[in-house]
Structure 1
Amino acid sequence: MAPPRKALTDRRKAEGFSRESLAFVVGVAEKTVGKWERNEATPEPLNQPRLAKALRLTTQKLIDLLNADAEPEVQDGLDRVEWALANPSQADFEAVARLRNHVVELGERYDRERSTALLAEAGQLLGQVRFLRQHAHRYGVKRDLLAAEAEAATLMGQFAWDASQRRDHLEARKHFDRAAEAAREINDPVLESIALLRTSYVALYGEDDARDGLRLTEQAAVAARGNSEVLEGLAVLHTAEAHAMLGERRACERALDLAQDHFGQKTEDDPVPEMFSQTQHDRLAGACYLRLEDTTKAQPSLERVAVQTRSRSKSRSIALANLSLTHILQRDLEQAAASLHLAIDSVEGTWGGGGLKVIFNVARELRPWRAEPVVDQVYDRLLTVMAAT
């Protein structure tokens, strides 16, 4: 009796298919897929191209996988990950490095593409990382896969929350919690701090829970301490906004000053230099003073962000919407509408869920002036945005 085709089963699972779902894609019965995996039958030539496409293999590689009596040779280049998925117990450092590079590449696409378009790819990547981590034998490889899982789970939580326009808090928290757990398993305080910081965003900007947000930002700052001035500075910045939400002006301003100190001490070897930008302090300071209803201090900070931040940035749409709110509070409808139009321009280039949520929240503040032509024009554009989303 021929041995089961374990490599085919592993490949199916790595690509995120159940037997039923793979059968549906290929156009056969579920029991037929079972027969293929038990080596009781071989896919007919008519089915092989569809099966290969579903499993992201060439037809020849599928045939090799079905007929292999020994482990296939390691291939160079992009095939390294495919080989590891077919031979998960032998995954190596190079395959893990390619997966982690894929996480970085997805993160870089975040400001250029809709999160909804990135979700499937991020989910598949996270599934591949988890699959390899579950089967890895070498300690060093398993450790690197846990780091990759922390990174991929954090990214998946970020995409899921943004795609839901910051409504699906449970799904986002589930991914961030797993990321923090994986980071703690390998004692990586930087990855743990990032996961905690992302969770604090859900508490602060999704659930409007300032107390929980404060707790999480403080935990993120503690984890980052001595490991990354950038991360600690970011955590303290969001601690400032938690204090602002609670109406604690003195604590907020102390945190803003402390964050600036951390950013001033960052070095070239900081582990996450890409997380720092020159506009972050102004953006959060503007948001803090806006929450404290101090428009005279909020407006200059937000105006600097609007000028300095590149147009295709999801954070720019939030800053512009907040700037619009400062003008509303000052009863300057012309400037409020102008800033909100710019915010809409920005969000139409990125479709960031956070920007969409803030824009619609600000638009609600314009309801008392709905009959004004300048406000009516904003509402017309928002109807177009709603149709597009």
Structure 2
Amino acid sequence: MEESQSDMARAREAAGLTQEELAVLMPADVKSIRNWESGRNKPQPRRRHELAGHLRVSLAELEELIRRASASGTAQRPASASFAADQAPADQFRAETLALEADYDRSPSTHLLGRATKHLASVAVARAAAFTVEARRELYSIEAEIATLMGQLLWDASQRRDSATPRNYFDQAIHAADQSGDLEAEAHAMLRSSYLHLYSFDKDPEAGRMLAQRAATLAQPVSPGLCGLALLHVAEANAMRKQRRACESALDAAQWQLSQVDGAGVGGEYLSESKIDRMTGSCYMFLGLREPAEHHLIAAADALTSKKKSQSIVFGNLALARVRTGEIDGAVDALNKAIDTLEVTRGGGGLNVAFSAGRELRPWRQESSVAAAGERLFALMAGA
């Protein structure tokens, strides 16, 4: 154990940090740092980019340090066989969760539901049967992630008509995250829950704003990227309420959080310039300011070529911004681009925005281009 412990400790010391200083930077308890170095516990996978950055090692090097520390720690535990038995499925469950999250941006939600449902059930069974406290905590963390994804999938599959079922999954995720002590997972589930108020047919922007603000507060100590994403939704909620000053204040705060996403990529999976452009464009659309809305939405669309579900929402919002200022040809062009992506992904958010743009184009339905886009929307609806 001493050799493995000194490996992790040596990396910290080479970075010029004491255990106490690293605990402040993470942030984490000093006890957690000691447990990581001794192999008694592992840093949560979501936090390993951050830890690698502070230790000035690559992620691969950090994973090797963790593996060696865990192997040495396991060898000294009386229940080492039980601990090792817990770890293998946990690693497999984490890998499948990451694979599902990656597929979310590329595949229709309905295609992923069966796989995600089975995966969540398997994680819950394994967590209930886990031998060690550490394994239960890690499985609770995985459960929080996959329950959050289940909520997203179900809401998409219902075309955002059913909020009750997704809310149950988000509540399950919040509970699981609380049991694991995973603030990032808890904040993410809470933020997703805010979407039910912000983007359902029966909107409640103030309730959505309050949940998004709570998510930002939870995420602030552990993930600047997630904190920034939550603040973007606070901004959009304020735009829906026609509160321009509060909206722009939240946008500025989100931009500052982006500046805190460091070279190790901490939180970068949540927040980027393209995401800020997307949400800023949406904010200005709700505020009725077409020129800044279009500027940001076009920039976001160009940057989101690999994220088709998000790109369809951007094109739908661009169509709305244009039709509201009478630029019908531009609105139809943006709507057709939204439909192009929706024919592949059938993302619930993009469908709703596209249908809203189609409804607002109805006064011009005698024009052939508008009629053709309307027929494409109808076909999309029939196949949804």
Normalising by structure 2, we get a TM-score of 0.76
Task: Please tell me the residue identity of whatever aligns with 1:165.
Answer: Q
The one-letter amino acid of 1:191's match is A
**Is the 8 Å Cα contact of residues 108 and 346 (structure 2) preserved in structure 1?**
yes
Selected match of 1:169 from 149, 157, 163: 163
State how many pairs are aligned.
Answer: 303
Q: How many angstroms apart in 1 are the aligned matches of 2:326 and 2:177?
A: 48
Aligned partner (choices 86, 94, 103) of residue 88 of structure 2: 94
Deviations 1:289-333 (A, max 9, x none): 111111121111111112222065101011001111111011111
Contact map agreement 1:161 1:172 (CA 8 A) in 2: yes
Q: Among residues 312, 325, 329, which one is paired with 2:320 in the alignment?
A: 325
Q: Distance in 1 between matches of 2:266 and 2:284?
A: 30
**Shift in alpha-carbon separation, 1:99–1:350, aligned structure 2, 3 A:** same
| 1:251 counterpart residue number | 246
Check conservation: 1:312, 1:349, Cα contact below 8 A.
no
In angstroms, what is the RMSD of aligned CA positions?
1.7
The equivalent of 2:65 in structure 1 is none
Distance in structure 2 (CA, Å) of the matches to 1:256 and 1:378? 33
**Structure 1 residue runs of 4 or more that deviate by more than 4 Å after TM superposition:** 88-91
- SS of 1:125's equivalent? helix
1:132 equivalent to 2:110? Answer no
Partners of 2:108 and 2:344 within 8 A in 1: no
Structure 1 residues 119 and 294, CA gap change in structure 2 (3 angstroms): same
Check if 1:353 corresponds to 2:355.
no
Which residue matches 1:210? Answer: 205
Partner-residue secondary structure (3-state), 1:279: helix
- Give the Cα–Cα distance (whole angstroms) in 2 for the partners of residues 380 and 226 of structure 1: 49
Residue 143 (str. 1) matches residue 143 (str. 2): no
Write out aligned runs for 1:231-250 (5 A).
Answer: 231-250=226-245
**Is contact 1:333-1:374 (8 Å) kept?**
no
- Please report how far the alpha carbon of residue 201 of structure 1 lies from its aligned counterpart in structure 2 after TM superposition: 1.2
- Aligned counterparts, 1:1-389, within 5 A: 91-206=85-200, 207-269=202-264, 271-310=266-305, 313-389=308-384
List per-residue Cα deviations over 1:237-294 (Å, max 9, x = no partner): 1100011111110000011111001101111345543223331011101100111111
**Contact kept in structure 1, 2:316 and 2:353, CA below 8 Å:** yes
Once residues 150 and 92 of structure 1 are traced to their aligned partners in structure 2, the CA distance between those partners, rounded to angstroms, is 18
Give, in whole Å, the separation in 1 of the partners of 2:299 and 2:222.
Answer: 30
CA distance in 2 between partners of 1:177 and 1:99 (Å): 21
Structure 1 spans left out of the alignment, 5+ residues: 1-87
CA–CA distance in 2 between the matches of 1:125 and 1:90?
21
SS at match of 1:137: coil
Query: Where do 5+ consecutive residues of structure 2 fail to align?
Result: 1-81
Map of 1:36 onto structure 2: none
Contact 2:235 2:248 (8 Å CA) reproduced: yes
Q: Which one has a bigger Cα radius of gyration?
A: 1
- Structure 2 Cα separation of the partners of residues 385 and 265 of structure 1: 41
| Aligned 8 A contact 1:90 1:137 in 2 | no
Q: Indicate conservation of the 8 Å contact 1:229/1:270, yes or no.
A: no
**1:186–1:274 CA distance, 2 compared to 1 (3 A):** same
Separation in structure 1 between the aligned mates of residue 279 and residue 225 of structure 2, nearest angstrom: 15
Per-residue CA shift, 1:5-44, capped at 9, x if unaligned?
xxxxxxxxxxxxxxxxxxxxxxxxxxxxxxxxxxxxxxxx
- 1:89, 1:132 within 8 Å by CA — same for their partners in 2? no
Aligned to 1:275, what secondary structure does the other structure show? coil
Alpha-carbon contact 2:332-2:373 (below 8 Å) kept:
yes
C-alpha displacement at 1:187, in angstroms? 1.8
| Aligned-partner SS, 2:269 | helix
Does the 8 Å CA contact 1:89/1:135 hold for their aligned counterparts? no
8 Å CA contact 2:225, 2:258 repeated in 1: yes
TM-aligned CA deviation for residue 164 of structure 1: 1.1
Is contact 1:318–1:355 with CA below 8 Å preserved after alignment? yes
Q: Secondary structure at the match of 2:199?
A: helix
Paired with 1:125 and 1:97, the residues of 2 have a C-alpha distance of: 13
Cα distance between partner residues in 1 of 2:255 and 2:278: 13
Looking at structure 1, the residues matched to 350 and 114 of structure 2 have their Cα atoms a distance apart, in angstroms, of: 22
